[in-house]
Amino acid sequence: MSKSSGLDRGLTDYGDPEFSRYLRRSFARSMGISEELLGKPIVGIAVSGSGFNNCHRTMDDLAEAVSRGVLSAGGLPLAFPTISLGEVFLNPTSMMFRNLMAMDVEEMIRAQPMDSVVLIGGCDKTVPAQLMGAASAGRPAIQLVTGPMMTGRYRGERLGACTDCRRFWARYRAGEVSEASMSEVEGNLAVTAGTCAVMGTASTMACIAEVLGMSLPGSAAIPAVHSARLAAAEESGKAAVRLARQPITPDQIITADSVENALRVLLAIGGSTNAVIHLAAIAGRLGISLSLDRLNEISDQTPVLVNLKPIGGGYMEDFYAAGGVEAVLIELRSLLHLDCVGVDGQTLRQRLDRIAAEKWIDRTIIHRFEEPVSVGGGIVALRGSLAPDGAIVKRAAATPALFELEGRAVVFENLDDLARRIDTPDLDVTPADILVLKNAGPIAAGMPEAGYFPIPGKLARAGIKDMVRISDARMSGTAYGTIVLHVSPEAAAGGPLAIVRTGDRIALSVAKKRLDLLISEEERLRRLSSWSPPPQPERGYAALYQRSVLQAPQGCDFDFLVPGHAGKQPSRQK
């Protein structure tokens, strides 16, 4: 091993490199590692298990399998912890901590002597955080996801977190399901280890990691409890040793072309809207910008091919059995950049040439390009006087009858206001209205998944299932409805959303990709002149976050982590 690799990489500063080397070797030997192994390439294993993260319950087994692979290929595996982000256990929202985890991952990869790293994670924010960190650290890295859950059963019906969680909750709110039944449902929604069982954010990001080339081919959709998941972990360990010997760094894998491939697959799988933010953040770490206009061009050319919840009927275990990501890539081949290289050292072309001929594909789950689930891509970006820097709608999970609509705004000022009034019997609202939630964006609230806010109680009980809802928040990848998200600039950055009032008219056109607030220019300026920004948190991470977070189109990364970024400059409409 050279002096700048293995255990000798990045010596601790004592002002005497030889002393640092001697001390490090001595302390490494205190762990009982043989001198022979200490001379091998070192593969770090970033583990993110936690008692507060059900989705990472198999972390120890996966880390052991990776270690097995590393040892068998002649490397030294050394696991190290990073923080863990369990989606439903974090307050106010896991999104606030994605950048914190990305910094943890980046700095620990860079600071410790590893020649390559296997990143193990799965829950929504973990894979983006690990990829962002690895991209910035610049060391060869492989993403290994924990894999999706299997489905449960309730009275003969398959259940999977979390589209069915939301479906049953909506039925409960409408008075169709009893409390006793909900208790039974609760015990059957998430019945195995792994990430949410549908094409939510975790599954979408797993697919994106594979398409980018950062995970081993065929590994994204393997269920968490399937033996193939452990085999993929072992293979990831072997591949990491190859990368340690013949480095391919994240910047060679995550390129403008592979990001575009990932965006196309995101649209074809009907993936999560959150992935648009995460992909922008990952790409942004390498100076690649993700344009919403390009997203729309790709969306118009790319049909939805995958029939999974929340837009279809299947679950991730079906997707795996149907052929997984590689089957989708085969269908999209003519639209992909095929020279992109992955962690296995192969180009996408080589990979598809190898598998295309003999691949069996279940066409009830993964449709042919010529016979798609729906003709347009799953997500489109909107612009207009209400969203000058863009907004997102998941049209594949929305109600087409609501796509072209002008309606009266019914406004909630913030999350507290929403919680206080949404179910009040005297709320002045009709099914033809457009519901607007302000101050749930990155600066105001860390951008929680509050965009899928409920239909007002009195309308839900009257059988209304969907209404246009607009906010600067995000939405869970497992959710559905005609929901306009990520309105940018957000209200707390002085975007036009800040000045919407109940009674204003709003026009939505998915066909024209427009979102407009129908007030005069004079009125707009008058209202903006009395707007003031929210107070800043005084200390700690919350203060750093609010000061530094970028808007959704820039991936909500911190300004100081994006190369060449000149500091935060939120668009103000004054």
Which 8-state DSSP code applies to residue 381? E
CB of 564 to ligand FES, least distance (A): 33
200 or 218: CB nearest ligand FES: 200
Give whichever of 150 and 409 is closer to ligand FES, judged by the CB atom: 150
Contacts of 84 (CB under 8 A, 6+ apart): 48, 49, 50, 52, 53, 56, 101, 123, 126
Instruction: Please state the closest distance from residue 202 (CB atom) to ligand FES, in A.
Output: 3
What is the nearest approach in angstroms of ligand FES to the Cβ of residue 289?
Answer: 27
Measured from the CB atom, the residue of 121 and 495 that comes closer to ligand FES is 121
Residue 239: half-sphere exposure toward Cβ, Cα within 13 Å: 24
Could you say whether residue 88 binds ligand FES (CB under 6 A)? yes
Q: What is the DSSP letter of 341?
A: B
When asked if residue 124 is in the footprint of ligand FES (CB under 6 A), the reply is: yes
Q: Is 150 a binder of ligand FES (CB under 6 A)?
A: no
Burial bucket for residue 361 (CB in 10 Å: 0-12, 13-18, 19+): middle
Check: CB of residue 248 under 8 Å from CB of residue 343.
Answer: yes
Report the residue from 8, 87, 115, 318 that binds ligand FES according to the rule CB under 6 A: 87
Closest separation in Å from C-beta 367 to ligand FES: 25
Q: Applying CB under 6 A, which of residues 120, 202, 275, 507 lies at the interface with ligand FES?
A: 202
Say what angle helices 324-332 and 201-212 make with each other, to 10 degrees: 60
| Residue 510 CB contacts under 8 Å (≥ 6 apart), including other chains | 380, 382, 393, 395, 398, 403, 404
User: What does the block give as tokens for 426?
Assistant: 């005297």
Q: And the tokens for 85?
A: 């982000």
CB of 195 to ligand FES, least distance (A): 4
Kindly indicate which of the ranges 65-73, 104-112, 192-200, 418-426 contains the residues binding ligand FES, using the contact rule CB under 6 A: 192-200
By beta-carbon proximity to ligand FES, the closer residue of 195 and 299 is 195
Told to check if 123 binds ligand FES by CB under 6 A, we report: yes
By CB under 6 A, name the one of 135, 196, 243, 316 that touches ligand FES.
196
The tokens of 184 are what? 């039974």
Site mask, ligand FES, residues 509-538, x = CB under 6 A? ------------------------------
Closer Cβ to ligand FES, 19 or 52, answer by number: 52
**Distance, CA of 566 to CA of 550 (rounded, Å):** 11
Say if residue 306 is exposed, middle or buried (CB neighbours under 10 Å; 0-12, 13-18, 19+): buried
Q: Is 195 in the site for ligand FES (CB under 6 A)?
A: yes
By CB under 6 A, what part of segment 40-59 binds ligand FES?
A: 55
Question: In whole angstroms, what is the distance from residue 494 CA to residue 217 CA?
Answer: 44
Residue with tokens 């996966």: 62
The DSSP H or E segment spanning 417 is helix 415-421
Q: Is the CB of 87 or the CB of 557 nearer to ligand FES?
A: 87
Contacts with ligand FES, residue ranges (CB under 6 A): 55, 87-88, 123-124, 161, 195-196, 200, 202
